[in-house]
Every structure is written in structure tokens, then in C-alpha cells.
Structure 1
Amino acid sequence: MRFEILISILAMAVVTFATRFASIGLLGNVPAGLGRFLKHVPTAILTALIAPALFAPKGYIAITFSNHYLLAGIVTALVAYNRQPPIVTMGAGMTMILVLRMM
């Protein structure tokens, strides 16, 4: 591994740790309302990252049967909704995309 990459990874780890540690140190005990709000932030960020890839994989909104990403996303969401383990959920999504691409 190149030295620059290793330094970049270590620097990102230190910055991530520092921001999390600083927020805990500055806020101390988080109020209940803020805690409930912060609990949903990772889900919101993940949705913001995934939604464009599902609904607009080619740069424009494509809600059709030819959008394999959307179909695989629907199957994955249904499996996740049935409270399957993450590995089963990811496996279902990957299997669906492979099946659709082979067709």
C-alpha cells in the first residue's frame, strides 16, 4: 500500500473519531428529543445516497420495468421489511440484479 493512502486513511479515522468524541464531550448527556432525532440521521443519509441510484441510474428518473436497480431495490426492501438478517437482505438484492441482468 502506498504511504499516501495509508496517511489519508489514518487522517480520516482521526478526524472521524475527533468529531464524534468532541460532540459527546461538548454535549454531555444529550436531551431525549435530540437523541431521538439523531438516531434517524444514518437512515436519512443512506436513503439520500441510495435513492438517486435506484430512481435515476442513467441521470434521469426511470420508473419502469427496464430499471433493474429499482426492481432489485424493491425486492431488497420487501425482504428487509420481513425482518430478515442483513446478509439475507443483501443477498436477495444482489441475486435479483444478477437475474435481471442475465435476462
Structure 2
Amino acid sequence: MNPMTLLWVFLGAGLATYLIRLSFIAVEGRVRLPSWFRTALQFVPAAMLSALIAPDLLMHDGALYLSPYNTRLAAGLVAIVIAAYTRSVGWTIAGGMATLIALEYWL
């Protein structure tokens, strides 16, 4: 693929993302969104993060991998416990990564 074509694709995708995000900011105060919609928007970040992470924790080579040897799932569960207990992003990442590295080394 031509590098200039790739540049235009990146710029176009960036502009589209920017405009989509700007649309919610620009209409704030001018348009009254229903309360159920505003309530639903609060769950979007958690839903997006779950949709990105869950396949990596639960799948291996395109198949469901629920096994005691699934190091990513074990580290993810440890990270969930750390997050629930500490409410700290830093400790969650550090604990989850330390668990993953230790399990990968031992298994």
C-alpha cells in the first residue's frame, strides 16, 4: 500500500473519531438527552473495556480456553480482586502483570 494512501486513511479515521466525540460535547446544553440515555452512557466505558479484554482472557487459538493453565485468565481474576479491594489502577495493573509474569515463568 502506498504510504500516502495510508496517511490519508489514518487522517480520515482520526477526523471521523474526533467528530463523533465532538458531537456529544457540542450538543451538551443545547439538546436535552433523556435521563435513561444519560444513565446508559455511564456504562459505556466499562462495557467497552470488557469487550476488549474478555476475548484475550477467555480465548486461545480461536477457541474457549477455560483451564487451570490459562495464565491470562488467572492473572485477570487476580487483577479484578485487586481492583475491587484497592480501587487503584496502578496496583491493579502492577498486580495483574506480576501475576501473569510469575505464572508464565512457573507454568
**Do these two structures clear the TM 0.5 threshold for a shared fold by scoring above it?**
yes
Cα separation, partners in 2 of 1:21 and 1:48, compared to 1, 3 Å: same
Q: What is the CA RMSD across the aligned residues, in angstroms?
A: 2.2
- Residues 1:68 and 2:68 are matched in the alignment: no
TM-score between the two structures when normalised by the length of structure 2: 0.78
Moved over 3 A (4+): 2-13, 23-27
Deviations, residues 42-89 of structure 1 (Å, cap 9, x unaligned)? 211211121111111232112111000100000000001113311110
Does residue 1:48 correspond to 2:48, yes or no? no
Alignment match, 2:62: 59
What residue ranges of structure 1 are gaps of 5+ in the alignment? none
Corresponding residue number in structure 2 for 1:21: 22
Q: How many residues are paired up?
A: 102
What SS does the corresponding residue of 1:47 show, helix, strand or coil?
Answer: helix
TM-score normalised by structure 1 residue count: 0.81
Identical aligned residues as a percent = 27
Give the letter for the 2:23 counterpart.
A
Shift of 1:4: 6.4
For structure 2, the residue ranges without an aligned partner over 5 or more in a row are none
